[in-house]
Homo-oligomer: A and B are copies of this chain.
């Protein structure tokens, strides 16, 4: 379930340490948070500093081009045909846009405007905190982009394209040996890029630098600690759950469910949660995803199976969580009003998917809707549906994993990629290492590489340091659930009655509208 947002005017991401953000969100700190809320009236400084004005204008142009590129990408994944020539022609369009986005975002004039605007700001009274933060984010991203020479960016793009094709081939043949050499190149390239970006800060560990690309400000040392705690608690809990005699039946999930009815049901549910269908649309695609063209046009896709209805509903709720985040950002067209980090984004999808959509009150509300959609044959009680959707079944595949085993899938990948970068695991040993850990942590025997270390696309896309964001999002979602229940004590009653507006408003107030104003 990949994310693809049209991110405003920068490629880098600012991310808080998750636990810190959530501390700031505790109910006792509500007033402070409110007081520090963004003031979106920076006209006075903008009126004063022509450099700042010009800078903002250039950044917004880049944002518009990124949004245009997102439209092309959405069209390709949802509407466009897949003949070779058509795909190639879209590739040429995307590549021309990417070239232009690169040209405009690395424009030397931006560097000069940042300097001048920063000087202007220093001598200006009455600027809001937004302006300083905007300059800070812009400077950081610009300098980072500057540290990656075009030549390196070109080689990276070329490798990613080659590696992706090679990975698909190896996965189809379930033969790691076909991918091993290319995977080595991917890790080497990721290290080269991280080394360039790190620059003179050589005391930053290389893997931490990689993490920073996806979850800015979150060091490997903190993740080690966090994931260690989770693993320590989870493995015995999993064992206990699996040994339990109380096993919910998954029968309510299976049967024959017309796709059309599932689509309408999913739409009804996600709209009730707070997804604004007037400013977006819902489509079907091979892999569910969310894409934002602006807060006024945020689209989600889902996929449906005739034999099992929960995948479609859960996928729509998940993407709906991502989409509500994007829909409720301010629309300044600047990075300050983009999502804080990948982990924070995932916290929004997982909050709705798990802390609402897996709860008993939710199924008290939603089970009658299942009956209305699927007919009287669907004779299960809310309790039975609740049990079924919460079943725990260890398996090989991360994207099919339940709430309890999912973190272990992430921790496994995290350990392997960190150890490769730190030189403790050899690329040749990845399958062996993978299968050992699967057995040890989740208790399953991987029988072929396509069910093991070849299942994920990420490494072939040079997204090394990406996996942890899934689990950070999961942890953040749990923390949000903890604090929202302090602020909304009748949370469960509201869910059971299908009254979600206050819950969505809380998330908007605490998370969405702040964008990247707070740093980690």
Task: Please indicate the chain B residues that have their CB under 8 angstroms from the CB of A294 in the complex.
Answer: 86, 89, 92-93
In the complex, which residue of chain B has the Cβ closest to the Cβ of A99? Answer: B61
Task: Please indicate the chain B residues that have their CB under 8 angstroms from the CB of A79 in the complex.
Answer: 79, 281
Least distance between A91 CB and chain B CB atoms (Å): 10
Q: Say whether, besides A86-B279, A100-B100, A297-B86, A93 and B81 are in contact (CB < 8 Å).
A: no
Partner of A68, one of B83, B96, B281: B96
Contact with B along A62-73 (1 / 0, CB 8 A): 001101110110
Contact A279 B97 (CB under 8 A): no
A383 within 8 A of B: no
Task: Please indicate the chain B residues that have their CB under 8 angstroms from the CB of A99 in the complex.
Answer: 61
A80 within 8 A of B: yes
Sorting the interface of chain A by its residue count into under 10, 10 to 19, 20 to 34 or 35 or more gives 35 or more
Q: Say whether, besides A81-B278, A81-B281, A279-B85, A65 and B96 are in contact (CB < 8 Å).
A: yes
A362 within 8 A of B: no
Q: Say whether, besides A71-B71, A85-B279, A100-B65, A93 and B293 are in contact (CB < 8 Å).
A: yes
Contact A331 B81 (CB under 8 A): no
Q: How long is the Cα–Cα vector from A347 to B141 in the complex, in angstroms?
A: 52
In the complex, which residue of chain B has the Cβ closest to the Cβ of A72? Answer: B71
Q: Identify the 9 closest CB pairs spanning chains A and B, nearest first.
A: A64-B96, A89-B294, A85-B296, A86-B296, A89-B296, A68-B93, A86-B297, A64-B93, A83-B278
Oligomeric state, in copies: 2
Task: Please indicate the chain B residues that have their CB under 8 angstroms from the CB of A72 in the complex.
Answer: 68, 71-72
A88 within 8 A of B: yes
Q: How long is the Cα–Cα vector from A346 to B372 in the complex, in angstroms?
A: 51
**Interface positions of A from 267 to 288, Cβ below 8 Å from B:** 278-281
Contact B90 A293 (CB under 8 A): yes
Q: How long is the Cα–Cα vector from A280 to B89 in the complex, in angstroms?
A: 12
Least distance between A270 CB and chain B CB atoms (Å): 15
Least distance between A195 CB and chain B CB atoms (Å): 32
Contact B88 A296 (CB under 8 A): yes
Q: How long is the Cα–Cα vector from A97 to B97 in the complex, in angstroms?
A: 9
A24 within 8 A of B: no
Measuring CB to CB, which residues of chain A are less than 8 angstroms from any residue of chain B? 60-61, 64-65, 67-69, 71-72, 74-75, 79-81, 83, 85-86, 88-90, 92-93, 95-97, 99-100, 278-281, 293-297, 331, 333
Contact A297 B71 (CB under 8 A): no
In the complex, which residue of chain B has the Cβ closest to the Cβ of A296? Answer: B85
Contact B93 A67 (CB under 8 A): yes
Task: Please indicate the chain B residues that have their CB under 8 angstroms from the CB of A61 in the complex.
Answer: 96, 99-100
Contact A75 B65 (CB under 8 A): no
Other A-B pairs, 9, CB within 8 Å; known A86-B294, A89-B331, A93-B293: A61-B99, A65-B97, A68-B96, A80-B297, A81-B297, A83-B279, A85-B296, A85-B331, A89-B297
Q: How long is the Cα–Cα vector from A142 to B95 in the complex, in angstroms?
A: 24
Task: Please indicate the chain B residues that have their CB under 8 angstroms from the CB of A95 in the complex.
Answer: 64
30 A–B contacts from the bound complex (CB under 8 Å): A60-B96, A64-B96, A65-B96, A65-B97, A65-B100, A67-B93, A68-B69, A68-B93, A68-B96, A68-B97, A71-B71, A71-B72, A74-B75, A79-B281, A81-B278, A81-B280, A85-B279, A85-B295, A85-B296, A86-B279, A86-B294, A88-B296, A89-B295, A89-B297, A89-B331, A90-B293, A92-B294, A92-B333, A93-B293, A100-B100
Q: Say whether, besides A72-B71, A83-B278, A293 and B100 are in contact (CB < 8 Å).
A: no
Q: How long is the Cα–Cα vector from A74 to B99 in the complex, in angstroms?
A: 23
Q: How long is the Cα–Cα vector from A101 to B64 in the complex, in angstroms?
A: 14
Partner of A64, one of B65, B81, B92, B331: B92
Least distance between A295 CB and chain B CB atoms (Å): 8
Task: Please indicate the chain B residues that have their CB under 8 angstroms from the CB of A85 in the complex.
Answer: 279, 295-296, 331
Least distance between A334 CB and chain B CB atoms (Å): 13
Contact A97 B281 (CB under 8 A): no
Q: Say whether, besides A86-B296, A297-B80, A297-B89, A64 and B279 are in contact (CB < 8 Å).
A: no
Task: Please indicate the chain B residues that have their CB under 8 angstroms from the CB of A60 in the complex.
Answer: 96
In the complex, which residue of chain B has the Cβ closest to the Cβ of A63? Answer: B96
Least distance between A87 CB and chain B CB atoms (Å): 8
Q: How long is the Cα–Cα vector from A80 to B92 in the complex, in angstroms?
A: 24
In the complex, which residue of chain B has the Cβ closest to the Cβ of A80? Answer: B297
Q: How long is the Cα–Cα vector from A95 to B83 in the complex, in angstroms?
A: 30
Contact B96 A279 (CB under 8 A): no
Contact B293 A81 (CB under 8 A): no
> Which of A71, A90, A279, A295 has most B Cβ within 10 Å?
A71
Q: Say whether, besides A64-B92, A89-B293, A97-B64, A75 and B71 are in contact (CB < 8 Å).
A: yes
